């Protein structure tokens, strides 16, 4: 994509001088297709000028219009009684959480900027997602992130990772919202193109929700926050080497974040919304001013007259199209009730922020942009936006050859190892499994004094909603290796694992946001992955009653060999805990507790870290997964937590049962003694990643009650006896012991697990 | 007894501190805006953590020039109580209400985690309810928390009993491996010579709630209430 914008600046200078209208060739250089150019002429009833063409190119870009994905996104479930704003209606999803409160949450990618400039790329990703939350009137209370990098042994990977982590930390820490969870994976497929997905969730009173809308002719339009500069014009696509070759004192390649400004903007924004005088407000993200003016106007069925010369700029003589398309950070567009101009101005003065009236709302439904009194562009708002006149395409898709090959995998072709201890050590210290401490200690995870998992760790982050007995339960999940192996099944697993993490923490899954990271949608095999992922997500979200509230699509993520990265549909799940006394933790509590494995095991090592990394066998399907079985396991866990019958719960995921046991032991500073199940291969039992399994511990005094609860629940849930629950061992004071063999002392395991990442990175 | 929590632009622990003082400790508490010049009759002033002015210069170096700081300095000179936590501590050293300086952590990284601190002097307004040799689990979150003072200043501080907290192990032992940021002699908190101005890097307000499964920081607030109320 970047090369479509070659030489734009030269073209532009030429148009400025000659005042001639651009041609199809220019439209194509701006990334528009011929049919799109024809459509623009039809909409306007004339040939667009350069500014208008730039407006369409930005608004009809993949990023703003979702033109290659929206048709499939529409099949995802959107409804639930809790939904206050459905996918695509507002800047972020909005879920009713009772007590007159709502939670606004969303995930968004900043992959391409982070690949070029990891520090600012990641920082501005954090800034952008938080603005999406507080523009709705919600105060962000938790952030998570999902990161993927290439081979950790490459210097470039280390540089990218350190930059991204520092960028997220510096921005989020200063902004003052805790980073409470996340995920981090390494695979060669991300060597060139890392993935940086940022999640934020905020709380708003349901009567204080702000909307991204504009109406009421004569109402003033304000731009607030940072001054507008030439950064990020034409988005990431413009951030290419070719621009700086022209070296005309312009265009830093990536936007620059200012968390201090964002913090002030947060406080000022919440203050003006609280006055009740705000008609609508939207942050300026991708495609800047043109995106906010058009989306707010289209939603409210109104138009706007905007005086671009009134926009506070960082430098003199910015062109109309530069002001319109600038992606300078920390800005908002606000429409206010006429007569309340001073109220708004005073609040921004208090916080020492820019606040300039740049236009008025009009009846016309057209956006008219003026520069020093001269009309420079006039476009109908509706035709620019997604859900309005923006194009929507069906893309061709085709099953890739690898898919059939992967399915042929047979565990019997893999010789069983006889050195289980070696595998265990390998997995404990593997960068995809070892403790993420090196990363998360650089994030302020405690500001806000609501993160309940600091001292009581659980599978998902649990954040107390102050003034209530409730908590938000959140996680981000996606094993992209599974998704690659089978997009539909792998994505269903991602949703299921997210739900399992929420449930194991004592929450009830409520809704998801998704971050769909894929390769080039024009490649049929890539688009097949996309379609499969959507189908799997639909299936699983319907099962768990977790509608999709929105998210973000990121295409064009390419790997080192020019092929796509693993399809990575990251799931950000929101759950609710009605009463914090239901908070369930993952650490073993005391020696003597019985360890139960809930959910069947199988002779299954497919796509496990053990098979893929330790044995180096890359071609296999995802691990066994059955949606109904998963549902039943989760329902049982909910009952066990509610009845207070278990002392800990931890899901079996990457690295299999051994890693789950080790993590619970390390977190509790205790040990375990377990006996493997002779019905299965020992490597599959210990390291296989067959889904829908959870380990729980039970106080021996409660064993009877636990067993009778199982019995009644079995009938209730499955109408048969097929929900596997096995006792596998006991918690001990120290040492990780399997089949009477000492694997590690707890101290040793803890040292390996906790320090592995730091050793690889420093 | 009235507490005031100052909000500087970029403060982000002001709400947390206010919450603990007002709701956990049930004290009369107000927030003070940095542009104000009057302390609204507060007896005890808190400077909270955060990133005042983005910490774009040295941490605290700009906030010390905020209009309210004149009143804070006068309050302290009159013997009024002032306490800075994290960024608040940095502001107080920049304002020279407290000795020493806070430098970038050894390791050059931001660190957020639980740490253990032990009181060195339990004869002050903020430490009297604490037990000597006991380790208190109180988290830190800072990039510039390495306390430094010249040898002469340090000697003076020692002889005046101005060193209040040191980083330690969970069992209370103090050594280099417990020193999370490279502070001189593991120092985590101090006071001025008159013992009415206090500063500490760890956040006791983050360790004062059952919801967080950690209430070990409450002893500091309890000390304040016990001593100042009387």
Cβ of B16 within 8 Å of Cβ of A447? The answer is yes
Output the CA torsion sign for A213, A214, A220, A226.
Answer: positive
Is the pTM above the cut of 0.90? yes
Catalytic residue among B86, B94, B142, B216: B86
Cβ of B16 within 8 Å of Cβ of A169? The answer is no
Query: Does residue B203 have an active-site annotation?
Result: yes
Chain B residues with CB inside 8 Å of A258's CB?
54
Cβ of B56 within 8 Å of Cβ of A352? The answer is no
pLDDT of residue A171: 97
pLDDT of residue A239: 31
Nearest Cα of chain A lies from the Cα of B114 at a distance, in angstroms, of: 8
Report the CATH number at residue B201: 3.40.50.880
The residues of A carrying an active-site annotation are 63, 110
The residue assigned the tokens 């306390």 is B147
Nearest CA in chain A to B210: A452
Cβ of A455 within 8 Å of Cβ of B214? The answer is yes
Q: What is the largest CA-CA distance in chain A?
A: 88
Chain A residues with CB inside 8 Å of B49's CB?
447
Nearest to A365 by CA among A346, A393, A344, A388: A388
Half-sphere exposure of A556 (CA within 13 A, CB side): 15
- Nearest CB neighbour to A174, from listed B10, B208, B212: B10
**Each residue's pLDDT tens digit, B114-154:** 999 999 999 999 999 999 999 999 999 999 999 999 999 99
Please give the structure tokens belonging to residue A404: 């059939």
Do A87 and A550 form a contact (C-beta atoms < 8 A)?
Answer: yes
Please give the structure tokens belonging to residue A66: 């979702």
Cβ of B212 within 8 Å of Cβ of A449? The answer is yes
User: What is the average per-residue pLDDT within B13-27?
Assistant: 97
- Nearest CB neighbour to A176, from listed B50, B55, B211: B50
Cβ of A260 within 8 Å of Cβ of B10? The answer is yes
Cβ of A446 within 8 Å of Cβ of B10? The answer is no
Do B190 and B100 form a contact (C-beta atoms < 8 A)?
Answer: yes
| Beta-bridge mates of residue B47 | B84
Nearest Cα of chain A lies from the Cα of B193 at a distance, in angstroms, of: 31
- CA-based angle A508:A509:A511, to the nearest 5? 145
Asked if B53 has any chain A CB less than 8 Å from its own CB, the reply is yes
Chain B residues with CB inside 8 Å of A263's CB?
9-10, 12, 51
Nearest CA in chain A to B107: A762
What average pLDDT does the structure give for chain B?
A: 96
pLDDT of residue B214: 98
Output the CA–CA distances (angstroms, integers) from residue A388 to A289, A385, A503, B16, B104, in the order listed.
Answer: 18, 5, 39, 44, 52
Asked if A121 has any chain B CB less than 8 Å from its own CB, the reply is no
Nearest CA in chain B to A471: B211
Do B129 and B222 form a contact (C-beta atoms < 8 A)?
Answer: yes
Window B:178-197, CB contacts with A under 8 Å = none
pLDDT of residue A234: 63
**Each residue's pLDDT tens digit, B146-198:** 999 999 999 999 999 999 999 999 999 999 999 999 999 999 999 999 999 99
3-state secondary structure of A585: coil
Chain B residues with CB inside 8 Å of A174's CB?
10, 12, 50-51, 54-55
pLDDT of residue A724: 84
Window B:98-157, CB contacts with A under 8 Å = 109-114, 139, 141, 143
Nearest to A232 by CA among A328, A344, A98, A95: A328
Please, what is the angle between helix A155-175 and helix A259-274, to 10°? 40
- Segment (H or E) for A497: helix A487-504
Please give the structure tokens belonging to residue A359: 């236009």
Cβ of B110 within 8 Å of Cβ of A170? The answer is yes
Nearest Cα of chain A lies from the Cα of B151 at a distance, in angstroms, of: 31
Asked if A303 has any chain B CB less than 8 Å from its own CB, the reply is no
- CA-based angle A214:A554:A93, to the nearest 5? 45
Q: Flag residues of chain A having pLDDT under 70.
A: 1-19, 87, 234-254, 560, 714-722
A311 DSSP assignment = S
Cβ of B109 within 8 Å of Cβ of A175? The answer is no
pLDDT of residue B110: 97
**Each residue's pLDDT tens digit, A420-464:** 999 999 999 999 999 999 999 999 999 999 999 999 999 999 999
Q: Which residues touch A582 (CB under 8 Å, ≥6 apart)?
A: A506, A507, A641, A642
pLDDT of residue A246: 43
Asked if A469 has any chain B CB less than 8 Å from its own CB, the reply is no
Nearest Cα of chain A lies from the Cα of B46 at a distance, in angstroms, of: 17
- Nearest CB neighbour to A580, from listed B205, B211, B214: B211
Nearest CA in chain A to B53: A260
Residue B192 structural domain: 2-228
Chain A residues with CB inside 8 Å of B209's CB?
449
3-state secondary structure of A215: coil
Asked if A454 has any chain B CB less than 8 Å from its own CB, the reply is yes
Q: What DSSP assignment string belongs to B57-93?
A: SSTTTTGGGSTHHHHHHHHHHTT-EEEEETHHHHHHH
Beta strands in B17-153 (DSSP E): 28-33, 44-47, 81-85, 101-103, 111-119, 136-142, 146-148
Do A615 and A744 form a contact (C-beta atoms < 8 A)?
Answer: no
**Parallel/antiparallel/unpaired status of strands A671-674 and A694-698:** unpaired
Q: What is the rounded distance in angstroms from the CA atom of residue A569 to the CA atom of residue A556?
A: 14
| Cβ atoms within 10 Å, residue A352 | 11
Q: Which residues touch B6 (CB under 8 Å, ≥6 apart)?
A: B14, B31, B32, B33, B34, B45, B46, B47, B48, B68, B72, B88
Cβ of B110 within 8 Å of Cβ of A455? The answer is no
Asked if A259 has any chain B CB less than 8 Å from its own CB, the reply is yes
**Each residue's pLDDT tens digit, B59-98:** 999 999 999 999 999 999 999 999 999 999 999 999 999 9
Chain B residues with CB inside 8 Å of A440's CB?
112
Residue A411, class by beta-carbon neighbours within 10 Å (0-12 exposed, 13-18 middle, 19+ buried)?
middle
Q: How many domains does chain B have?
A: 1
Q: What DSSP assignment string belongs to A598-649?
A: ES---S--TT-HIIIIIS------PPP--HHHHHHHHHHHHHHHHTT--SEE
Nearest to A97 by CA among A209, A206, A208, A178: A206
Please give the structure tokens belonging to residue B104: 């970038």
> How would you list the strands of the sheet with A508-517, edge to edge?
A461-464, A471-477, A568-577, A508-517, A548-554
Cβ of A176 within 8 Å of Cβ of B56? The answer is no
Beta strands in A388-470 (DSSP E): 461-464
pLDDT of residue B228: 87
Cβ of A442 within 8 Å of Cβ of B206? The answer is no
**Each residue's pLDDT tens digit, B206-227:** 999 999 999 999 999 999 999 9
pLDDT of residue B141: 98
Asked if B14 has any chain A CB less than 8 Å from its own CB, the reply is no
Interface A-B, measured as beta-carbon pairs within 8 A, has a size of 93
pLDDT of residue A92: 82
Q: Which residues touch A132 (CB under 8 Å, ≥6 apart)?
A: A91, A92, A106, A108, A200, A283, A285
């Amino acid at each position: 994509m970047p090369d479509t914008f070659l030489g734009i600046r030269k073209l532009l200078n030429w148009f400025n001088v000659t005042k001639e209208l651009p041609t199809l060739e220019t439209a194509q250089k701006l990334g528009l297709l011929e049919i799109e150019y024809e459509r623009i002429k039809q909409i306007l009833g004339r040939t667009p000028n350069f500014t208008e063409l730039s407006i369409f190119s930005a608004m009809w870009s993949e990023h703003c219009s979702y033109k290659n994905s929206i048709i499939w996104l529409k099949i995802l479930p959107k409804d639930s009684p809790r939904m206050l704003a459905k996918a695509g209606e507002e800047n972020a999803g909005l879920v009713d959480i009772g007590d007159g409160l709502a939670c606004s949450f969303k995930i968004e990618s900043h992959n391409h900027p982070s690949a070029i400039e990891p520090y600012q790329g990641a920082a501005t990703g954090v800034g952008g997602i938080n603005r999406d939350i507080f523009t709705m009137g919600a105060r962000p209370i938790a952030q998570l992130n999902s990161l993927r990098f290439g081979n950790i042994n490459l210097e470039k990977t280390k540089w990218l990772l350190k930059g991204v982590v520092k960028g997220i930390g510096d921005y989020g820490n200063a902004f003052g919202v805790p980073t409470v969870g996340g995920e981090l994976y390494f695979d060669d497929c991300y060597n060139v193109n890392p993935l940086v997905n940022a999640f934020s969730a905020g709380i708003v009173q349901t009567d204080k929700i702000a909307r991204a809308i504009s109406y009421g002719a004569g109402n003033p339009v304000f731009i607030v926050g940072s001054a507008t500069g030439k950064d990020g014009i034409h988005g990431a696509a413009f951030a290419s080497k070719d621009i700086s070759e022209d070296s005309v004192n312009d265009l830093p390649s990536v936007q620059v974040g200012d968390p201090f400004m964002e913090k002030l903007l947060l406080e000022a924004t919440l203050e003006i919304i609280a006055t009740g005088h705000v008609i609508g407000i939207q942050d300026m993200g991708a495609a800047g001013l043109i995106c906010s003016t058009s989306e707010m106007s289209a939603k409210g069925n109104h138009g706007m007259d905007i005086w671009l010369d009134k926009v506070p700029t960082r430098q003199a003589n910015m062109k109309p199209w530069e002001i319109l398309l600038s992606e300078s950070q920390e800005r908002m567009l606000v429409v206010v009730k006429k007569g309340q101009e001073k109220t708004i101005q005073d609040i921004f003065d208090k916080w020492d922020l820019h606040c300039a009236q740049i236009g008025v709302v009009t009846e016309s439904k057209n956006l008219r942009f003026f520069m020093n009194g001269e009309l420079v562009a006039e476009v109908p708002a509706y035709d620019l936006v997604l859900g309005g006149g923006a194009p929507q395409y069906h893309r061709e898709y085709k099953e890739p050859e690898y898919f059939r090959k992967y399915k042929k995998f047979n565990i019997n072709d893999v010789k069983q190892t006889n050195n289980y201890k070696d595998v265990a050590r390998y997995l404990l210290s593997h960068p995809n499994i070892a403790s993420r401490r090196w990363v998360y200690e650089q994030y302020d995870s405690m500001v806000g004094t609501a993160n309940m998992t600091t001292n009581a760790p659980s599978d998902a982050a649990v954040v107390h909603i102050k003034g209530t007995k409730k908590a938000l339960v959140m996680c981000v999940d996606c094993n992209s290796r599974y998704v690659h192996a089978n997009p539909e099944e792998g994505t269903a697993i991602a949703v299921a694992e997210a739900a399992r993490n929420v449930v194991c923490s004592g929450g009830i899954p409520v809704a998801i946001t998704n971050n769909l990271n894929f390769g080039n949608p024009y490649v049929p095999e890539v688009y097949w992955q996309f379609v499969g992922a959507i189908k799997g997500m639909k299936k699983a979200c319907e099962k768990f009653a977790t509608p999709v509230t929105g998210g973000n699509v990121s295409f064009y993520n390419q790997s080192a060999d020019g092929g796509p990265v693993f399809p990575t549909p990251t799931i950000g799940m929101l759950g609710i805990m009605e009463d914090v006394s239901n908070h369930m933790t993952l650490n073993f509590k005391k020696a003597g507790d019985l360890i139960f494995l809930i959910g069947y095991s199988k002779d299954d090592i497919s796509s496990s870290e053990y098979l893929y990394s330790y044995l180096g066998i890359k071609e296999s399907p995802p691990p066994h997964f059955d949606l109904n079985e998963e549902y039943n396991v989760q329902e049982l866990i909910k009952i066990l937590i509610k009845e207070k019958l278990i002392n800990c719960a931890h899901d079996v995921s990457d690295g299999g049962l051994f890693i789950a046991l080790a993590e619970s032991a390390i977190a509790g500073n205790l040990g375990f003694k377990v006996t493997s199940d002779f019905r299965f291969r020992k490597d599959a039992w210990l390291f296989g990643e067959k889904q829908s399994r959870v380990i729980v511990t039970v106080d021996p005094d409660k064993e009877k009650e636990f067993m009778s609860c199982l019995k009644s629940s079995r009938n209730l849930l499955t109408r048969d006896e097929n929900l596997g629950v096995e006792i596998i061992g006991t918690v001990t004071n120290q040492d990780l012991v399997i089949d009477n063999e000492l694997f590690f002392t707890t101290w040793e395991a803890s040292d390996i697990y906790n320090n592995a990442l730091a050793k690889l990175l420093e | 007894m009235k507490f005031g929590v100052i909000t500087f632009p970029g403060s982000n622990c002001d709400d947390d501190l206010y919450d603990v003082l007002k709701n956990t400790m049930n004290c009369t508490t107000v927030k003070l805006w940095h542009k104000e010049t009057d302390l609204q009759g507060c007896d005890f002033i808190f400077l909270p953590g955060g990133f005042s002015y983005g910490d774009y210069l040295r941490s605290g170096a700009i906030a010390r020039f905020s209009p309210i700081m004149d009143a804070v300095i006068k309050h302290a000179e009159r013997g009024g109580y002032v306490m800075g936590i994290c960024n608040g501590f940095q502001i107080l050293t920049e304002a020279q209400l407290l000795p020493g300086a806070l430098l970038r952590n050894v390791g050059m990284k931001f660190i957020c985690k639980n740490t253990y601190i032990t009181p060195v002097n339990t004869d002050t307004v903020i430490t009297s309810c604490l037990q000597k040799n006991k380790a208190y689990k109180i988290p830190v979150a800072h990039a510039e928390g390495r306390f430094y003072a010249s040898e002469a200043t340090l000697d003076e501080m020692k002889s005046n009993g101005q060193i209040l907290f040191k980083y330690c192990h969970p069992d209370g032992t103090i050594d280099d491996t417990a020193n999370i940021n490279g502070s001189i002699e593991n120092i985590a908190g101090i006071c001025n010579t008159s013992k009415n101005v206090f500063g500490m890097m760890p956040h006791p307000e983050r360790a004062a709630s059952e919801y967080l499964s950690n209430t070990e920081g409450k002893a500091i607030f309890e000390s304040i209430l016990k001593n100042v109320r009387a």
